[in-house]
Amino acid sequence: MKLNEIQMRDPFVLADKKTLTYYLYGTTDKDPWKAPGVSFGMYRSKDLHEWDGPSTVFTPAEEFWGTHNFWAPEVHTYEEKYYLFATFTAANHCRGTQILVSDSPMGPFLPVSDEPATPLDWECLDGTFFLDEDAQPWIIFCHEWVQINDGEICARKLSKDLSTPLGDPILLFKASEASWPKALPRRDGTGLVDAKVTDGPFLHRNREGTLVMLWSSVSPSGYAMGYATSESGAILGPWKQQDQPLVQSDGGHGMIFETFDCKLYLTYHSPNKTPDERPFFVPLIETAGGLACR
């Protein structure tokens, strides 16, 4: 298959050095919004052009807490295993990020715990993995605008085996700290138009050492993806927002991966309307303190 034949939101590429294979994960349910969640599909490639799949890497066991909104799976290598971070929700259960584990990038992935790693009374999504300079693992995630109006991106420490969140979440920044997100009507019935979205954080450290965070929101021209840089070089920031998004409209929720021949790519989905979403790969340049698409 070619990329333009794959319906997928929130694409994530694992360039697995063990198998010299690229694994493409993403939101693959045909109706990821209202229908019950089905599974996560994965595609494989040796050259980023021809893809085999989909292969199913996760289907929920009967006792699994999540029933809907199977969103944004990411697979990270850590301690010789593969960890999948993904969003789920259910009736009478806040949306959250569950961590799962497998010995193979092809799964099957099984939960590392019975509950999500995000706070049980918070509406959260799009958790991603970060390992700091002291080998401390973190989950970075969005506290949703639908609950708090001004969406947040937060960090929370994890135990060494990623099974247990440690301590309270730490606020990194709010959507309103960037100039480019568009104000939307609140979901609380007040009629106020001051809500702003945070979606899809992803961490990348430049070759010069700058720590960059991609994140997405709604801009005046549609769904978009920008980035922030940590002025301290560490996960707790402070975080400086860029004035303009990398992806200006109708595309976002992306990540950065390096090919086996050391080239950088930005991937994201576009357009932002189901069922037309497709994964896109764009060559990426590291600039002084930032990023630019070729």
Residue 206 belongs to a domain with what CATH number?
Answer: 2.115.10.20
Number of domains in the chain: 1
Torsions phi, psi for 176 (to 5 deg)? -70, -10
Domain residues for the domain of 161 are 3-293
C-alpha–C-alpha distance, residues 229 and 233, integer Å: 8
Tokens of 1: 């298959």
In angstroms, how far is CA 262 from the centroid of its own chain? 22
The pLDDT confidence band at residue 293, using thresholds 50, 70 and 90, is: confident
Using one digit for the tens of pLDDT, what is the confidence trace for 138-196? 999 999 999 999 999 999 999 999 999 999 999 999 999 999 999 999 999 899 999 99
Burial label, 17 (beta-carbon count in 10 A; 0-12, 13-18, 19+): exposed
**pLDDT value at residue 288:** 80
* Number of neighbouring beta carbons within 10 Å of residue 288: 7
Residue 287 has pLDDT above 90, yes or no: no
C-alpha–C-alpha distance, residues 151 and 155, integer Å: 14
Tokens of 147: 């609950």
Using one digit for the tens of pLDDT, what is the confidence trace for 203-235? 999 988 999 999 999 999 999 999 999 999 999
